[in-house]
Structure 1
Amino acid sequence: MQPWALVTPASRGIGLELARRLLTTTDIPVVATARKDLDHTRENVLSGLKGVKEDRLRVLKVDVLDEQSISNAANEASSLFPKKDAYLHLSLCLPGLLFPEKSPSQINYDDALLTFQTNTLGPMMLIKHFSQFLPRKATNVLASSGLPPQAVWATMSARVGSISDNGLGGWYSYRASKAAVNQVTKTFDNYLKMSAGEKAISIALHPGTVKTGLSEEFWKNVKDEKLFSPEYAGEKLMEVVNSRTLDDRGRCWDWKGEEVPP
């Protein structure tokens, strides 16, 4: 059985660096996604990667606000990796959008709706269409360098999605959408316990504050040692993913490998 990986989206920021890291630290095929400019995304992912076979990378069009595009990409993946011959060993599901709201009066309905559509419904639709490729109980999951021992579906969350750790308030839409991601992660992991047993787990990830467009407005408020480059964030997140055990399933983990409480 041929393992493969999914990074969605991978057009910039953490997703771009994770796709590049998988190509350089593993030998499996990588499916990266972007909403547009697929050729440009492919060039960015491969740029400067010496010794990497370019045919290991496939770039598919996915817009998490458009379920049909997710379904179409899943159909393409099915043709590339037939389930009788291959399985999805690692999925890094990374959609993210933030509108900061300091007070209730700043909540905008359309912005809040878009936040949930991107941060919560997007990952749910990716699970709907791509979870079919994860191992089943009877799948022969192969040990592979640079990858976790079991298949992992990892969804990007955030520390501010923690209800018990919320001492500041604000960011209503973003907090709520990420708390929902943590619930989806747990619920999906319960499903995987039945369908895959010990062959696949679901986790959520908190990358810290990373120098991407999502957090740019807040860089000035973060100490230099707590503001990470996308390259560093990608490295630390892969360390966390690769070190998870079955006891860690269904929970949210930060870039240090410490649990983010629900």
Structure 2
Amino acid sequence: MSGTSEPHIAVFGASGAIGGAFVREILARHPRVYLHAVTRSGAAHEDNRVHWHRADYRDETSLGDVAAAISRHAPIDLAIVATGRLHDAAIRPEKALRDISAPALEQLYFENAVIPALILKHVGPLLRRDGRAVFAALSARVGSISDNRLGGWYGYRASKAALNMLIKTASIELARRNPEMIVAGLHPGTVDSPLSGPFQSGVKPGKLFTPDFAAHKLLDVLDGLQPEDSGHCFAWDGQRVPA
């Protein structure tokens, strides 16, 4: 984290399964970290290194207010967006064209692409300008167009593909401001969480990860990225996910 002994880090979605694991892993790695943890519900636990912020991710004014609070402790060395949606009571991944609905497509696009883009809009200006800085958002391998061999999951695939394009486009702009800036997507694998719960039966043995394992591996990946990696998506094992 830019060689500083007290990195400033922000995690959005910090009360989710993977987001909470990111918080725990960051605290374990950085004893003197100044960590902004952003959630929809507020503080999840007490630690004087963690500064909790409540945000309505669907309200850009709320995101602006959180960014203003974070700005008092800028620059930020690392920002992670660990929000996202695959399904809920009203949305199930589509198996065929007949299952597509406009409301589901719109909701998935907003949750998986618009929200990370709005966070980057407001947090991007707070990222370090003089040295290495990283912005990362949880994406998914199913967002890869060239790797799509199974079909299905129209809304989720399309929304993650859109996120990957937003990441690529932002990486070009932000590199003009800071050549050491890295903007990346992260594929955590299949993580044992409410998001993957209904779809775990087909996961190969050894490929269902705990949130803590995923966060540990993804932070290792981020630590190893170079500016030339900016704009791409990387899996938990460090492999670049094809576009």
Q: TM-score per shorter chain, which class?
A: over 0.9
Q: Deviations over 1:28-53 (max 9, x none)?
A: 201111111x13x2x1xx5xxxxxxx
The yes-or-no answer on 1:31 pairing with 2:62 is no
2:9 to 5, 9, 14: 5
Could you tell me whether the CA contact under 8 Å between 1:9 and 1:95 is conserved in 2?
A: yes
Q: CA deviation at 1:131?
A: 0.6
Query: TM-score scaled to structure 1, two decimals?
Result: 0.86
Tell me which residue corresponds to 1:102. 95
Q: Deviation per CA, 1:219-262, whole angstroms, max 9, x where unpaired? A: 11112301000010011101101111122111110000001000
Q: Give the structure 2 partner of residue 74 of structure 1.
A: 67
Alignment of 1:62-211 (within 5 A): 62-79=55-72, 81=73, 86-98=74-86, 99-136=92-129, 139=130, 141=131, 150-198=132-180, 200-211=181-192
> Residues 3, 87 of structure 1: CA spacing in aligned structure 2 closer, same or farther, 3 A cutoff?
farther
Letter in 2 for 1:8: F
Structure 2 partner of 1:220: 201
C-alpha distance in 2 between matches for 1:255 and 1:24:
19
Q: Report the aligned-residue RMSD.
A: 1.3
Q: Distance in 2 between matches of 1:5 and 1:116?
A: 26
Is the 1:3–1:87 contact (alpha carbons within 8 Å) kept by the matching residues of 2? no
Distance, in Å, in 2 between the alignment partners of 1:161 and 1:91 is 21
Percent sequence identity is: 38
Distance 1:187 1:13 in 2: 28
- For structure 2, the 5+ residue unaligned runs are 87-91
Say whether the 8 Å CA contact 2:179–2:227 is kept in structure 1. no
Give the TM-score normalised by structure 2.
0.92
Bigger mean CA deviation after superposition, 111-120 or 1-10: 1-10
Q: Which residue of 2 aligns with 1:60?
A: 53
Q: Say whether residues 1:232 and 2:221 are aligned partners.
A: no
Structure 1: distance between partners of 2:67 and 2:230: 25
2:24 matches 1:20: yes
CA contact (8 A) 1:186 1:250 kept: yes
Q: Is the 8 Å Cα contact of residues 12 and 19 (structure 2) preserved in structure 1?
A: yes
| Counterpart for residue 145 of structure 1 | none
- Per the TM alignment, residue 72 of structure 1 is displaced from its structure 2 partner at its CA by 1.0
SS at match of 1:253: strand
One-letter amino acid of the counterpart of residue 51, structure 2:
R
Amino acid at match of 1:189: S
**2:76 alignment partner, SS class:** strand
In the TM superposition, residue 9 of structure 1 has moved relative to its aligned partner by 0.5
1:28, 1:185 → 2: CA distance? 26
Q: Shift of the alpha carbon at 1:55?
A: 2.1
Aligned residues: 233
Q: Which amino acid in the other structure matches residue 105 of structure 2? A: A
**Which 4+ stretches in 1 moved above 3 angstroms?**
none
1:202-226 CA-partner distances (Å, limit 9, x unpaired) = 0111000001111101111112301
Question: For residue 50 of structure 1, what is the aligned residue in structure 2?
Answer: none
- In 2, Cα distance between the equivalents of 1:32 and 1:232? 20
CA contact (8 A) 1:209 1:227 kept: yes
Question: SS where residue 48 of structure 2 aligns?
Answer: helix
Deviations 1:180-212 (A, max 9, x none): 1111111111011101122x1101110000011
Unpaired runs of 5+ in structure 1?
A: 47-53, 142-149
* Distance in 1 separating the partners of 2:62 and 2:149: 39
Letter of the structure 2 residue corresponding to residue 244 of structure 1: L
